[in-house]
Amino acid sequence: MAAYDLHIHSGYSSDGELPVAAIVGLCAARGLDAFSLTDHNSVRGVGEAARLARERGIGFVPGIEIDCNYRGTDLHLLGYGIDWRSADFARLEEEVAAKVMASFGAMVDNLLKLGFRVDAGAVLAAADGKPPTGELIAEVMLSDANCHTPPLRPYMEGGERSDMPYINFYLDYFAQGRPAFVPVEYMDYRDAVELVRDNGGVPVVAHPGLNFRGREETAGRLLDRGAAGLEVFNNYHTPEQAVYFTSLALSKGASMTCGSDFHGKTKPRIAVGRFPSDSRFDGRLSDFVNHIHVIGRQGV
């Protein structure tokens, strides 16, 4: 059975932690046949990952995860086998970073109105030049006793949301529709699809069940509007959702992919190469990897 993880984030993601070399080391230790580095709106780590994967004899798929919007819903589009040297991706990263930075003040203001205490300067310092995220705001607040207000208690040690406090805080307060959410004008879904295809890549919708929970049928429309596949197997889909998206991909002749969505400390319960899957579809996962640009190990 081939072992793939096609959704991994490094420190080049705004909410990632580990350097690229550490990521490749984890993939090697896990015995993966192939992996993809899919940083948020960034390809800065792809060249290094390709080189290190080749040295370790691991198959590597150049990738990216693009923030975009489909009819009012924010979602993520994975791009596989892309030409990461294209200037299009450098422009994308710059544009998204500027938009996120512009939203930071409103994010802090919303939390203050909800009874939190936030040191905006400390958050920006911790971001170290990267766009500040909701997860980072939570991390900084939790590390500073002066910010330990009652609303933060569920995320503190022993609290009911303390198992993954940073991402849980983001999901509770900054996810779309939540009380501290600040809209960011991401590119249209169809433009993101075109960006990936124009640069030789294959567009795949990331974790559709997470973004369209209760509206899973929307994934079919995304396939009809340019996506080549769906990330069916991941750490977010329920078994029922995995079955639904498998059936949908099969009915439309679309590709199926898999990935952990590893980030490091932001999602500490998620490990490289570990996610629910169905061995009956290993062949289809291998077909996908075999038909895109793989660097490193041959004949993956």
User: What is the reported pTM?
Assistant: 0.95
The whole-number pLDDT of residue 295 equals 86
Q: Compute φ and ψ for 255, nearest 5 degrees.
A: -75, 155
Residues β-bridged to residue 6: none
Q: Which residue has the tokens 């169809």?
A: 190
Residue 80 has pLDDT above 80, yes or no: yes
Sequence-distant (6+) residues with CB within 8 A of 44 are 12, 93
203-256 per-position pLDDT tens digit: 999 999 999 999 999 999 999 999 999 999 999 999 999 999 999 999 999 999
Q: How far apart are CA 18 and CA 11, in angstroms?
A: 5
115-147 per-position pLDDT tens digit: 999 999 999 999 999 999 999 999 999 999 999
Amino acid at 257: T
What is the bridge-based pairing of β-strands 34-37 and 59-70?
parallel
Q: How far apart are CA 58 and CA 179, in angstroms?
A: 43
Q: How far apart are CA 121 and CA 20, in angstroms?
A: 28
Residues 189, 224: contact at Cβ < 8 Å?
no
Q: How far apart are CA 66 and CA 96, in angstroms?
A: 9
